[in-house]
Structure 1
Amino acid sequence: MIRVLITDDEPLIRAGIRLILNSADDIDVVAEAADGREAVELARTHRADVVLLDIQMPVMDGLTALTELRRAVPGARVLILTTFGLQENVLRGLSAGSAGFLLKDSAPAELIGAVRAAAAGDAYLSPAATRHVVDSLAAGTPAHRTEQARRRLDALTERELAVLELLGEGLSNADAGRRIHMSEATVKTYVSRILAKLNCENRVQAALLARDAGLGG
């Protein structure tokens, strides 16, 4: 059973997420927190496996709480809850060790899938949010960044480049597989290879590199 802590300062948001997660047989919402400080305390008390963490909260914001959670409950995996317009905070969260991020208005199946992926040790990055972050940060890429990115991409095979291009579009593994006629498992294998070859920690970094290189136009 995956033990989940929901952290958001809006009761209605917490209630909606709890309702969705409780519909899954393998997920147990063990507690709810209204701010970052409470999240750290409850994660430790309830031995949470996955913490859903809002960024903008009173008392202690999500990014500060993320750092505290990594120190106090190192075994917990933290998923950042976000909305469009918080690209910088999302990237800071990923750099600080979060297991990924998803939008607050994600479909129920995506929310459940993200929690399962995080609990299994995988990173989860919402395709829609990934696409928004990449589009926003890649605008006006300097020429030297473009050249550096293209040199790094020289290490990839033609098939890996095709998969990377789809990451740059923010597609999930399943959607990418349908686009290029691969199974989801095969795409996942390619993504792992791409991240290793490019020395990227997550899909967002790889997607940004693809956009810097001008892959896919």
Structure 2
Amino acid sequence: MSTSTDTPGAVAQDGPLTVSITRRVAPEDELLMQAWVHAGTSMAERFEGFLGAGWVRSGSEDWHMLYRFDSRAHLDAWERSPERLRWLRSAADLVEHRRTEYRTGIEGWFDEPASSSVHEPGAGETPGATAPPRWKQASVIWIAFFPTSLALTYLLLPVAGHWPVVLRVLVTTLLATPWMTYVLLPFVTRLFGRWLRGD
């Protein structure tokens, strides 16, 4: 199998960008693929502007990988870095690059983008993938939000029980937001990936 270097297409605005990449991997190479994905995420985390990453498997061969940066400049710095190019080359015999989509807007991990640019090997621009229904998105967010809110309420009660409501909510949201963004929501999105896509 072979991989290709992903290059961003033109999008309508600057600001946070989410990159969605589809790669095909032989089922027997699952463990190698997991190790390769974790290595890439560990490298990306060291670059300025990195906001998070995740992956979802579709069927036995297709892997949908996401990563997000806070600006086009920081995304370009990662995508053009020697570290990333070496990382991509290390999987030349492991993965086959299928599709890359660059999204701007407030779509988070699965919402509809404000604008998008899609690149496929041997093809021009095509419309972006359809986002899951809003009710499914809301359900997944609630599944992540409820246990987070419940846990923080109990954990902060001994310390913050006598604080004004505004201060308690402020501290709770400051703690919950990075946890939800970087850990729990990507995990829940992967867990319910097939259901979100209607597979």
TM-score (norm 2): 0.29
Structure with greater Cα Rg: 2
TM-score (norm 1): 0.28
Which has the larger share of helix?
A: 1
Which has the larger share of strand?
A: 2
Kindly indicate whether structure 1 or structure 2 has the higher relative contact order, using CA contacts under 8 Å at least 6 residues apart.
Answer: 2
